[in-house]
Amino acid sequence: MLIVNNLVKRFNSTIAVDNLSFTVKPGKIFGLLGPNGAGKTTTIRTILNIIKPTSGEIVFNGNPITYEYYNIIGYLPEERGLYKRSKVIDVLVYFASLKNMNKIDSLSRSDYWLKRLKILNFRNKKIEQLSKGNQQKVQLIAAIIHNPQLLILDEPFTGFDPINQQEVKDLILSFVSEGKTIILSTHQMDLAEKLCEDILLINHGKTVSSGKLSDIKKNFGGNNIRLAFSGDNDFLKHFPEIIKFDHYHNFTDIQLKDEIIPSEFLKKLIQKFEVNHFSIIEPTLNKIFIDLIKENSGTV
């Protein structure tokens, strides 16, 4: 369990992280979300002890993160790249040695992961001879080769094709089932929505929203319906029950006033139009993200 309390990081006059507090539970994926420049990377770096926080405390499994923890932390940075002119296996063994693994273990773990991610045939090739996707796989292996207890992944899916994304997702889920503590930082809201149980949404270094994703969704104006109908859509403007609506090609998403009961609204609709589809929808994380950040930026 990772507990962050009142974390503040100040660079000269700018505040990158402004009083963040959150808890990351083991066996779950914690989503650290926010727009570009929100302070995600700085937060991650302070957790990793790469930079010192101005104030606040970070505790992992009951102790502050110090040197002893380096060997049980795994980190995949957002930017990708490896020693281009070195061999795949040499790079993996090097990173393993920096996590205090012995040579025999690091070789067998490398081979295990190379095989599992289907790139064992590149074992003795130079990194620069690999495709971009395969290079990223090697980097991912370098981040997890020592079987870390705390795993921080910054945009692990970018640059992968859908099949490889699936493989990476399976890999992350296998770490979840082993009870590891995992922080996932990403802009891909659909993936975050599928993977994360808890999220922290930050903007300008401050918390915008945090907690269980299901609770956040419930609290975020829940009265949404999806509608498909024949005919012109102009009529929707004339319903006082509707707060706002978004047209898509095949359907329209409508946000109703909180006191309106959706089934009652449907009855009213059917009397006037031919409805082809009607469903009650939860707000997507993507929508929550956009709305909350817009709202938050507007007030700043």
Partner 1 sequence: MKKILAVAKWEYIEKVKTKTFIISLIITPIIIISFSILPSLLFKEEAPNVEVIGLIDTSGVYFNELENELSQYKLPDGKRNYVLINLAFKSKSFDELKSTANKNIQKKLIEGCLILHYSGSDSVYAEYRSKTLGNFKNVERFEEALSTIRFKKKLEQEGIDTKIMQYFQNKVAVEQLKVEDSGKVSDQDFLTTFFVSIIFILLLMMMVVYSGQMLVRSMIEEKSSRLIEMLVSSITPDELLTGKIIGLGLLGLTQIIIWFLIGISLIASALIPLTAFNNILPMLSFFILGFLFYTSLFVGIGSTVNTEQEAQQITTYLSLILMLPVVIAMPAMQNPDLLVTKIFSYIPLTTPTIMLLRLNVETVPEIEIILTLVILILSILVVTKLSAKIFRIGILSYGSKPTIKEILQWIKE
| Residues at the interface with partner 1 (CB under 8 A) | 45, 48-51, 67, 70-71, 73, 75-86, 90, 94-95, 97-100, 139, 142-143
Between 40 and 45, whose beta carbon lies closer to partner 1? 45
DSSP β-ladder status, 55-60 and 2-11? antiparallel
CB of 216 to partner 1, least distance (A): 29
Q: Which residue number, 94 or 112, has a Cβ lying nearer to partner 1? A: 94
Q: Kindly calculate the radius of gyration of the chain based on its CA atoms and give it in whole angstroms.
A: 23
E-only strand ranges, the chain: 2-11, 14-24, 28-33, 55-60, 63-64, 73-76, 150-154, 181-185, 198-203, 206-212, 224-229, 242-247, 252-256, 275-281
Q: Quick one: 79 or 234, whose CB is closer to partner 1?
A: 79
- How far apart, in Å, are the Cα atoms of 139 and each of 43, 74, 193, 283? 21, 11, 24, 35
| Shortest Å distance, C-beta 192 to partner 1 | 21
Q: How far is the CB of 147 from partner 1 (least distance, A)?
A: 14
Strands (E), 68-140: 73-76
Q: How far is the CB of 233 from partner 1 (least distance, A)?
A: 47
Report in angstroms how near the CB of residue 180 gets to partner 1 at its nearest.
16
d(CA 153, CA 44): 9
CB of 43 to partner 1, least distance (A): 13
Task: Output 21 or 86, the one with its CB closest to partner 1.
Answer: 86
Taking the least distance from each CB to partner 1, the nearer of 94 and 235 is 94
- Across the strands, what pairs with 275? 229
E strand or H helix that includes residue 174? helix 162-177
Q: Which of 11, 235 has the CB closer to partner 1? A: 11
Strand partners, 63: 60
Query: How many of the other CB atoms lie within 10 Å of CB of 5?
Result: 14
> To the nearest whole angstrom, how small is the minimum distance from the Cβ of residue 75 to partner 1?
4
Considering Cα of 57, then 59, then 63, then 66, what sign does the dihedral take? Answer: negative
103 vs 194, which CB is nearer to partner 1? 103
Report the distance separating Cα 174 and Cα 178, nearest Å: 6
